[in-house]
Amino acid sequence: MHTDDSRSALLDAGERLIAERGVEVPLRDIAAAAGQRNNSAVHYYFDSRTGLIEAIVDRRMNWLEQRRMELLAAHEADGTAHDLRALVTMLADPILELLDRSGVSHYGRFLEVVRTHPVIADARRLAGSDRAAVRIIATRLTAALPHLPPRHRRRRLETMATVLFALVADYERTLESGVRAPRPDDSGEIVDMIVAMITVPMTAAAD
């Protein structure tokens, strides 16, 4: 198998098995699922489990980043680039587009599993040039919630990522099981739920 093909097969297998069995799935199982007879194939190509997770994220994130930049430009042009619902849509829509575009069937569940891993959760990663779109959207979301005290605003935006990954993962599961087919309003429904969550008024006890 060609080197690029082997690496790609490991990424596919890693994404699927981590989604199905969790972050600690044995690396030898990932190698076997990728058609590699060498149990150390993951270490050869990615150095470590963390290296594999990072490579899986980066493979998809490059396209997501480009798509979000396109959406940011479009919303800048029509004057809605700071609208809260538009900002949430720019986070959610590209993930669903990716699933439809490439036939990816495990990336949503993979993100749900690794959401607390430093590859995803470390805020310092947003400082990189390869995360500019997410950084811009996150900054504007913070500014779009001026009615919330800073700590509550931060908590809601952190929870938003958890909820987004969970909703996309559930969407992916229903498509794979055949319970439902994709519908034009799928993204809008997910965005509606997230917007409702982050904008719900605080109770007096939460002040």
The predicted-structure confidence for 52-68, as pLDDT tens digits, reads as follows 999 999 888 889 999 99
- pLDDT value for 86: 97
Burial class of 16 by CB neighbour count within 10 A (0 to 12, 13 to 18, 19+)? buried
Confidence at residue 39, expressed as pLDDT on a 0 to 100 scale: 83
DSSP 8-state secondary structure symbol assigned to residue 37: S
What confidence score (pLDDT) does residue 123 get?
Answer: 67
Using alpha carbons, list the distances in angstroms from residue 43 to 48, 59, 71, 160: 5, 18, 37, 34
Is the Cβ–Cβ distance between 109 and 19 less than 8 Å? yes
User: What is the end-to-end Cα distance of the chain in Å, rounded?
Assistant: 60
**Dihedral over Cα of 55, 107, 5, 41: its sign:** positive
Q: Which of 143, 137, 132, 153 has the alpha carbon at shortest distance from 90?
A: 137
Q: Which of 119, 97, 103 is nearest to 168 (CA)?
A: 97
pLDDT of residue 81: 95
Mean of all residue pLDDT scores within the chain: 88
What gap in Å lies between CA 142 and CA 178, rounded to an integer? 37
Q: What is the pLDDT of residue 34?
A: 95
57-107: pLDDT as tens digits = 988 888 999 999 999 999 999 999 999 999 999 999 999 888 877 667 899
Return d(Cα 57, Cα 150) in angstroms, integer.
29
Where the chain has pLDDT below 70, the residues are 1-2, 102-103, 123, 125-129, 180-184, 204-207
